[in-house]
Structure 1
């Protein structure tokens, strides 16, 4: 069974591989890490307000979590897909924590953010925001890269998850591979330079920000923070 924490990549896996896929796009980096167990967590209302077109709801995430727990109880081998983003790093720790209670076989495919590309002899480097931007045609090429996650590793990452979940920070970011709690305005400095263009629409401000910085922050969070910044001014 394949597991991913990215919504669009879950669809890519389903269309490409002949295996069951569980997508759990919980966006762990935003809100309390315990939010899956708390439908009344304010982050759900915030996301709904600024991401009204999303089909991901707390109910759908809890359903996916139930499927995952059922697979763990059956002892099904799990293959996790991750990239070096805060969401995937946190999701990996979340899964390891679950495995402390329902031990099972886990392998992991960690796809590099930087992808070398060749086009008619030209060589370049592409930086991906998240797994959703990975070319689906290349998915089979990554299957041999799966490596086992040992029981000792699962325990270590589960402990880190528990430590992070206890800090009650509204945001978690990844800096030099380290996950840390942060204040809600952590990413605001990336938006501020675009605010000097008074005639730019909010859509352009957000688009320019996302184009300049590949930091795996979704547009709904940028809309929220742009509203907070412009209202404050």
Structure 2
């Protein structure tokens, strides 16, 4: 069986989900990140809570079958940019968007050559996963799709449906596992996630009973919806009323304006406010691009810091609005 997800974090978690369960150690690296120092007592208490949570997840973990090679990710960021061109075309709009995305060094800490190499490797990985999915589905392997309400995942689901339908061969069962808004764990703790990339590896197995078969007729309809979006070829696609639709490039600008932390603030702080206040499944890179547009329009003004370290720079609202 091929497991399909829609992001690098989910891909890594699905691979690790093959190796979880009782008697197995969970993650052991714990980092404390922040500007303010914490006391020794606070650190010990935080470590205690984290380890207790790790142990709880391991106790209730259900490992997934298969190997890490059974996981592929459609990580093209399909909710953004041009989608009418062939998806895996070298030098095409999709590769150019991914290059801009991966080579953006928001804190100004990376070398350009390293970023370019990361972008090339990521693009090759995206193509390899896409081609592997096509080959294995054509070869008769079942496909299981892990879908959540984020724009990239819903676009990815439609694109995968179009790929499978285009193979024009009898398909093994295609199923989809939808991420619930929340669930109650065996220890009584209420857990909520917005994307599969946020789900710990230990928790994936518990969602297997939610898998639903996508019959050929439904796959055809999903594929048709993707073709419609390709014809519209809007700058962005967003979730509106639970449905993925084409929207203009300014769609998220109002969310950004409503999230201004004050009259003067760091770019990274504003991005954090947007993503926390509006958990609509978009990433920091898209928000940062729209902030740049607001700067170009004069709705914000660069106040302090190096533009190369964009997230660490300070901006202000002109006229103290």
Whether the TM-score (by the shorter chain) exceeds 0.5 is yes
Check the 8 A contact 1:81/1:109 in 2, yes or no.
yes
Provide the C-alpha distance between the structure 1 equivalents of 2:102 and 2:17, rounded to a whole number of angstroms.
30
Kindly state the Cα deviation for residue 49 of structure 1 after the two structures are TM-superposed.
4.6
Q: 2:104 aligns with which of 38, 41, 50?
A: 50
Provide the C-alpha distance between the structure 2 equivalents of 1:68 and 1:194, rounded to a whole number of angstroms.
40
Task: Establish whether residue 140 from structure 1 lines up as the match of residue 205 from structure 2.
Answer: yes
Task: Establish whether residue 13 from structure 1 lines up as the match of residue 14 from structure 2.
Answer: yes
* Aligned residue runs from structure 1 range 32-43, under 5 A: 32-34=82-84, 36-38=87-89, 39-41=91-93, 42-43=96-97
> Which residue in 1 is equivalent to 2:76?
26
Task: Establish whether residue 180 from structure 1 lines up as the match of residue 245 from structure 2.
Answer: yes
Kindly state the Cα deviation for residue 120 of structure 1 after the two structures are TM-superposed.
8.0
Q: Deviations over 1:70-127 (max 9, x none)?
A: 1122111111100122211111111111111224221111112x21457986x7573x
Which moves more between the two structures, 14-23 or 47-56?
47-56
Q: TM-score, normalised by structure 1?
A: 0.89
Check the 8 A contact 1:50/1:221 in 2, yes or no.
no
Kindly state the Cα deviation for residue 37 of structure 1 after the two structures are TM-superposed.
3.2
Provide the C-alpha distance between the structure 2 equivalents of 1:96 and 1:60, rounded to a whole number of angstroms.
20
Provide the C-alpha distance between the structure 2 equivalents of 1:160 and 1:175, rounded to a whole number of angstroms.
15
* Aligned residue runs from structure 1 range 6-155, under 5 A: 6-17=7-18, 18-19=66-67, 20-34=70-84, 36-38=87-89, 39-41=91-93, 42-50=96-104, 57-102=122-167, 103=169, 104-105=171-172, 106-112=174-180, 114-117=181-184, 126=192, 128-155=193-220
Provide the C-alpha distance between the structure 2 equivalents of 1:119 and 1:144, rounded to a whole number of angstroms.
15
Kindly state the Cα deviation for residue 44 of structure 1 after the two structures are TM-superposed.
3.1
Structure 1 residues 222 and 51: alpha-carbon distance in aligned structure 2, compared to 1, 3 A threshold: farther
* Richer in strand (by share): 1
Q: Which runs of 5+ in 2 are unaligned?
A: 19-65, 107-114, 299-321
Provide the C-alpha distance between the structure 2 equivalents of 1:125 and 1:22, rounded to a whole number of angstroms.
26
> Which residue in 2 is equivalent to 1:2?
3
Q: Which has the larger radius of gyration?
A: 2
Kindly state the Cα deviation for residue 147 of structure 1 after the two structures are TM-superposed.
1.5
Q: CA RMSD in A?
A: 2.3
Which moves more between the two structures, 26-35 or 204-213?
26-35
Which moves more between the two structures, 45-54 or 19-28?
45-54
Q: Deviations over 1:134-177 (max 9, x none)?
A: 23211111112211110111111111111111111110111112
Q: TM-score, normalised by structure 2?
A: 0.66
Check the 8 A contact 1:51/1:220 in 2, yes or no.
no
| SS in structure 2 of the partner of residue 179 of structure 1 | strand
Q: Which runs of 5+ in 1 are unaligned?
A: none
Check the 8 A contact 1:13/1:136 in 2, yes or no.
yes
Structure 1 residues 22 and 51: alpha-carbon distance in aligned structure 2, compared to 1, 3 A threshold: farther
